[in-house]
Amino acid sequence: MALPTNNLPQYSRYITAHDSNGLSIFSPAYDPSAPKRLYPNNSAFHLDYTTSSTPVSFTSNADLKAYDSDVARCESLAPYFTAPNGSAIRHADTPPGGVSPMHRTLTLDYGIVLEGEIDLMLDSGEVRNLKRGDTIIQRGTMHAWRNRSETEWARMLFIILPIEEGWEMNGQVMKEEFRAPPVKNERGDANPPSNTDAKPTFSPGSADATTQATSGA
């Protein structure tokens, strides 16, 4: 399945390494085009790099081997893939009209809009329209993404970090959560479902999650 023609520029991802003399080089083992997974709704996720531990180990290229392992299973990764003990950096391309489910991941996400515009919707009903260069720090909050444009794609860069286990809020241990996609109002806009009327309908990696998801954090 090829990504439909859109106005997003191609980008390159370079990984540095060392040669046998200890000199810095650009690793010839990695293509500048990062591994990409496409979904039925035409959204795309680029897995630029992952790590499996903190601090990261460079001994015997342990970090590269861990990334290679994630790349090998890229086609089976859920749209909301996270590295429980490490980090991930990803590009997420959202097509015109794309809307994600309302969801929470147990991560700290740094998100930067690179191309286009995208709405960040919270379950409180608050919405912010993010433009190129805008940054979001997502602290384990319920949220959904919406590209309200009818013609322009949106691209975001995400750096995803794990958080400590057992995080509690109001006496409740927080868990990953995925709800039904936001519904459309009479104007055709997608609105975030409220806490009371939204019910979880699928989990990460399920067929529905793969079909519905349009953004990566």
Chain segment 144-193, per-residue pLDDT in tens: 999 999 999 999 999 999 998 889 989 999 898 888 665 554 444 555 54
User: Is the CB of residue 70 less than 8 Å from the CB of residue 77?
Assistant: yes
More confidently predicted of 59 and 76: 59
pLDDT digits (tens, 9 = 90+) for 60-77: 999 999 999 988 887 766
For the chain, the first-to-last Cα distance in angstroms comes to: 23
In this prediction, residue 199 carries a pLDDT of 33
For the chain, the domains span: 36-166+173-212
In this prediction, residue 194 carries a pLDDT of 45
User: Is the CB of residue 153 less than 8 Å from the CB of residue 116?
Assistant: yes
- CA distance readout (Å), 10 to 33, 75, 87, 93, 132: 9, 21, 24, 11, 16
In this prediction, residue 125 carries a pLDDT of 95
**Least confident stretch, 43-47, 123-127, 140-144:** 43-47
In this prediction, residue 190 carries a pLDDT of 55
Rg of the Cα atoms in the chain? 18
In this prediction, residue 202 carries a pLDDT of 26
How far does Cα 177 stand from its chain's mean position? 15
Q: Does domain 36-166+173-212 have CATH number 1.20.120.160?
A: no
pTM of the model: 0.80
In this prediction, residue 213 carries a pLDDT of 43
In this prediction, residue 117 carries a pLDDT of 97
The rounded distance, in Å, linking the Cα atoms of 26 and 132 is 29
More confidently predicted of 151 and 79: 151
In this prediction, residue 207 carries a pLDDT of 31
The rounded distance, in Å, linking the Cα atoms of 46 and 34 is 6
Predicted confidence (pLDDT) at residue 201 exceeds the cutoff of 70: no
